[in-house]
Amino acid sequence: MNKKIKIKYILLDKLKFNKKAIRLKDRTDEFSIVDYLFQSNSILSLLLSIGENGYFDTEPLIVVKTKKKYKVIDGNLRLASLKVLSNPLKLNVYKNKLKQILEETSYRPNKIPCIVINNKSDFNIQLGYKHISSFNRWDVSIKRHYIDMFNEKLSDENIEKNSRTIAKTIGSKSMYVMKYIIIAELIKKIKINNEYSSAPIALNALVVSKLFDILSFENINHFLGIRLSNNPLEKLNYHNLEALIKMISSISTDNNFFDKLNDSLENSYFASQLSNGIFFQDDLKSSKDNFHFLEKIENIVGYLSSLNTTDILNFTDKELNYLNKLNEKTSNIISVRLHLNKKTIIS
């Protein structure tokens, strides 16, 4: 540890939340901050741990000194737990669970180990390293805001270059950073398009998190027209983006699902169906052989559609009869498939 860094024990009532922290979304009073943190994070276990064991010196809060108090730059969840243990009335939610925790624990820390820093802007770099590159990670939404904060300060419009600069600053990988910049740009585009759309895209934290996940899949990126390069959204297919968000908003997904979806999008028939707002969940369970079969059907349909009058005149009656039967069979296969999947179509 740097010899200049020393732990100072500060009275709990001298510690205040950083209301401008990304996680707190500019909430103005302590009660709303505490309630929000408890509702949006699983920190009852943290409350229980501190109540049972006290506050560990190895996890000091990072603070900056204001006029009369200290603003917590890193450790707002821990501060919320400490505030509630000290004054349970600050918490309006989880009253029954809180009562049980208070009855089962005895520690109520009042002097809290802190590291006081002088320059908040310098610490932002350390904050990024801790919560983006290391084990103690923020969720996708907070990471996106944090990286966007850095990106906006860079004058260069070269996204690849900016990604490398930010990655070096926070000890991350440039491709990882670029994905967050792409997500930020996608959200801006969606918000602009929503203003003029009769059916706006519903954006929430879960959808944003899923969008980040799918940027790791080559075929999905190709479907969306996204490239992991300097100008990633130059060829963005916004129509396909709408269709994909509509689909992932309607079903339960995980990386296994996206693996299957990525494989499925190798098939042009499946891609065209998804682009048209039709999604067959069962298709993801099909083997690659089944998709090759679909491709053959698609090729046959394409060939039949391309026949002109001259081509038809060159066929014998027997050959025309065969073509008619082939056309009828392929049409029936598609119509039966649509009929059987009516309940699984997401439109």
Other beta carbons less than 10 A from residue 135's beta carbon: 6
Residues 87, 66 within the same domain: yes
Name the helix (H) or strand (E) containing 133: none
pLDDT over 60 at 2, yes or no: no
> Residue with structure tokens 């963005």?
236
pTM of the entire structure?
Answer: 0.55
In 3D, which of 124, 115, 172 has the Cα closest to residue 146?
124
Instruction: Calculate Rg over the CA atoms of the chain.
Output: 28
Residues 136, 85 within the same domain: no
Residue 152 lies inside a defined structural domain of this protein: yes
Q: Are 114 and 138 in contact (CB under 8 A)?
A: no
Question: Which one of 49-53, 171-175, 205-209, 323-327 scores highest in mean pLDDT?
Answer: 49-53
Residue 271 lies inside a defined structural domain of this protein: no
pLDDT of residue 338: 47
Residues 162, 203 within the same domain: yes
115's tokens:
């590291």
Per the DSSP assignment, residues forming a β-bridge with 113 are 9
pLDDT over 80 at 28, yes or no: no
Q: Are 18 and 71 in contact (CB under 8 A)?
A: yes
Domain residues for the domain of 330 are 285-344
Residues 146, 170 within the same domain: yes
Q: What is the dihedral of CA 237, 238, 241, 243, to 10 degrees?
A: -110
Residue 41 lies inside a defined structural domain of this protein: yes
pLDDT in tens, 215-264: 989 999 999 999 988 889 999 999 999 999 988 887 777 778 888 888 88
Q: Are 242 and 276 in contact (CB under 8 A)?
A: no
CA distance 296 to 191: 40
CA distance 34 to 83: 8
pLDDT in tens, 89-134: 888 888 888 999 999 999 999 999 998 887 655 566 666 656 665 5
Round to the nearest angstrom and report the end-to-end CA distance of the chain.
57
Residue 244 lies inside a defined structural domain of this protein: no
Residues 145, 181 within the same domain: yes
Instruction: Give the number of domains in the chain.
Output: 3
We report the CATH number of the domain holding residue 71 as: 3.90.1530
pLDDT in tens, 272-330: 888 887 765 555 545 445 556 666 766 777 777 777 777 777 878 888 888 787 777 76
Residues 203, 228 within the same domain: yes
